[in-house]
Homo-oligomer: A and B are copies of this chain.
Amino acid sequence: MCDVCGCGDPKLVPVDVHARLLEHNDHGAAHNREHFRRHGLVAINVMGSPGAGKTALLEATARRLGGFRQLTALAGDLATERDAERLRVAGIPSSAITTGQACHLDADMVHRALHHVEWPQADYLFIENVGNLVCPAIYDLGQEANVVALSVTEGEDKPLKYPVMFRHADLVVLTKTDLLPVLDFDWVALKEALVRVMPAPRLIAVSARSGEGMGAWAEWLEARRPSPSQKVQVAS
């Protein structure tokens, strides 16, 4: 079993190893969060399955918000820098975090990667996590909010089958809605699943391709921004 992903088998993995790992991570995440808040930066941890459309969502976000907000991103993947490259082409200064065999980002990886992007000037830092609907959920990175991208082709039952991820989500962005006409998608089943799993269910449906729903997503992001008074307060 996988101790670090939250399922330590006490026969094989000493409990203190697991506790030490998460404690170390929480310490790093608190440090990142302090940095972000001091600079009035909104950090968003974007999670989801491989191919859920995380990068496409951020590309479309650049088209929507890039004209009046400063965006920056870190893109996590086991191998290749493809996502960071795509985001740079879309106009988001980005750095890749190549994890090797690691199935999720942690606070240290994020901290080290911050040296490669001009984050203090940015309004938003998008941290695109490794595509994985399990392990990233329990690693705090110092983000302001957790967003889970779920594509319409993945199935309405995913919140019930991967409850840890959806329990930690502040928002679910349902992606690829342009494919709905060719699918038998059950909205009621998805909403019932989210209500059962999320502490405060919130769903925005978007198509990065057509731009549908991107306004609601941009509004949600803007509502996460600190008011000017809060910024001064934190910085003083």
Q: Which residues of A contact B (CB under 8 A)?
A: 1-7, 12-14, 17, 20-21, 24, 49-51, 77-80, 82-83, 99-104, 106, 130-135, 138, 151, 153-155, 157-158, 160-164, 176, 179, 182
Contact = CB atoms under 8 A, between A and B. Distances in A.
A15 to B, nearest CB: 12
A55 B76 CA distance: 28
B4 A3 contact: yes
The 4 closest A-B pairs by CB, nearest first: A51-B154, A7-B102, A103-B134, A6-B101
- The oligomer's copy count stands at 2
A78 B162 contact: yes
A134 B209 CA distance: 27
Given A78-B161, A82-B160, A103-B103, 9 more contacts: A2-B2, A2-B4, A51-B155, A51-B158, A77-B161, A78-B164, A103-B134, A132-B133, A153-B179
A222 to B, nearest CB: 29
Given A132-B103, A158-B50, A14 B12 contact: no
Contacts of A83: 161
A207 to B, nearest CB: 12
A31 B105 CA distance: 34
A101 B179 contact: no
Contacts of A14: 17
Contacts of A5: 2, 4-5, 101-103, 135
A101 B7 contact: yes
A179 B153 CA distance: 10
A197 to B, nearest CB: 9
A99 B153 CA distance: 24
A42 B162 CA distance: 29
Contact of A102 (B2, B104, B138, B153): B2
Contact of A151 (B17, B77, B79, B153): B153
A133 B50 CA distance: 7
Nearest to A99: B7
A146 B29 CA distance: 37
